[in-house]
Structure 1
Amino acid sequence: MIFVTVGTHEQPFNRLIEAVDQLKSSGAIHEDVIMQTGFSTYEPKYCEWHKLLPYAQMKEKVAEARIVITHGGPASFIMPLQIGKIPIVVPRQLQFNEHVNNHQVDFAKAVAERMGNIIPVYDMTELSDVLGQYDKIIVAMKKKNFEK
């Protein structure tokens, strides 16, 4: 199962929700997808979705998921890390009116470079490839971090 969360920021993150829904629709994603869509206005047609989930239920879904995709909010990607998951982090971007500035992009870049424990995706056209290569990416990340 893939779990997607966009947090609780009041601006929609339709770009991520719609992209994952389209990947599920096209067959690029074969497994079940559960989404927490927050204030997004796009309603997924091919994935199970909930506007908001209680924290305990979010934690449960993250623990059950094979892959976790989050926005760039620290609370959203730190929880999967605490549970032992390496999340795919898609930062909200100002150019798409998803946030008030690009701090999520800057923060995701910094964490990826310094910690090497998240998989950032800045361009939505790369998401399908990252999902398809997820297991290989994880192996390479663990090897690289072990060598440090």
Structure 2
Amino acid sequence: MIFVTVGTHEQPFDRLVAEVDRLVEHKVINEKVVIQRGYSKYQPQFCQFADMMDVADMDRFMSEARLIICHGGPATFMRALSMGKRTIVVPRQQKYNEHINDHQLIFSRQVRDAGYQIEIVDEISKLKDVIAETSNLKDFEYKSHNSSFISKLERAVDSL
């Protein structure tokens, strides 16, 4: 199962919701897809969906999912990673009126470049290929960065 979540930001994220629905329609995705579509206006025809979900439902769908596709909200994609899920991040972008600026794109790139195992799709036409590449990978193990963070924090505190 693939779980897609666009978060709760009040601007629609139709670009992602419509593309996932299209990929299911054209049998590019051949498994169950559940979408949390937030304030998106596009209504999926080929996927199960809900506008909003409570934390229990989000956690249930995330834990059942083989793959999580989400917006660039750090709480969402870091939660997916912490659950050991392959994660594709499709950041909301200002040029598509999905957010007020491009902070999701900038931040998700910084997180990826810091070594976190996320795939970033900045152009929706690439989603199909990234899903295929991700599906071909066998093992996935989340690599925590906690020890590195703690070491850096300790050095910063010691230097005060």
Structure 2 equivalent of residue 4 of structure 1: 4
1:84 corresponds to 2:84: yes
Structure 1 equivalent of residue 31 of structure 2: 31
Q: How far, CA to CA, are the matches of 1:25 and 1:110 in structure 2?
A: 33
Shift of 1:135: 3.5
Q: Is the 8 A contact 2:6 2:38 kept in 1?
A: yes
The aligned runs of 1:13-92 (5 Å cut-off) are: 13-92=13-92
Q: Is the 8 A contact 2:86 2:134 kept in 1?
A: no
Structure 1 equivalent of residue 153 of structure 2: none
Shift of 1:27: 0.6
Shift of 1:133: 1.3
Q: What is the one-letter code of the residue matched to 1:65?
A: A
Larger radius of gyration: 2
Q: How far, CA to CA, are the matches of 2:81 and 2:133 in structure 1?
A: 19
Structure 1 equivalent of residue 148 of structure 2: none
Q: What is the one-letter code of the residue matched to 1:61?
A: F
Q: How far, CA to CA, are the matches of 1:42 and 1:126 in structure 2?
A: 20
RMSD: 1.6
TM-score by length of 2: 0.84
Shift of 1:19: 0.3
Q: How far, CA to CA, are the matches of 1:133 and 1:82 in structure 2?
A: 21
Q: What is the one-letter code of the residue matched to 1:20?
A: V
Q: What is the one-letter code of the residue matched to 1:67?
A: L
The aligned runs of 1:108-127 (5 Å cut-off) are: 108-127=108-127
Q: What is the one-letter code of the residue matched to 2:54?
A: P
Shift of 1:69: 0.2
CA 1:137–1:101: 2 relative to 1, 3 Å:
farther
CA 1:16–1:70: 2 relative to 1, 3 Å:
same
Query: Counterpart of 1:49 in 2: which secondary structure?
Result: strand
Q: How far, CA to CA, are the matches of 1:6 and 1:48 in structure 2?
A: 14
Gaps of 5+ in 1: 143-148
Structure 2 equivalent of residue 94 of structure 1: 94
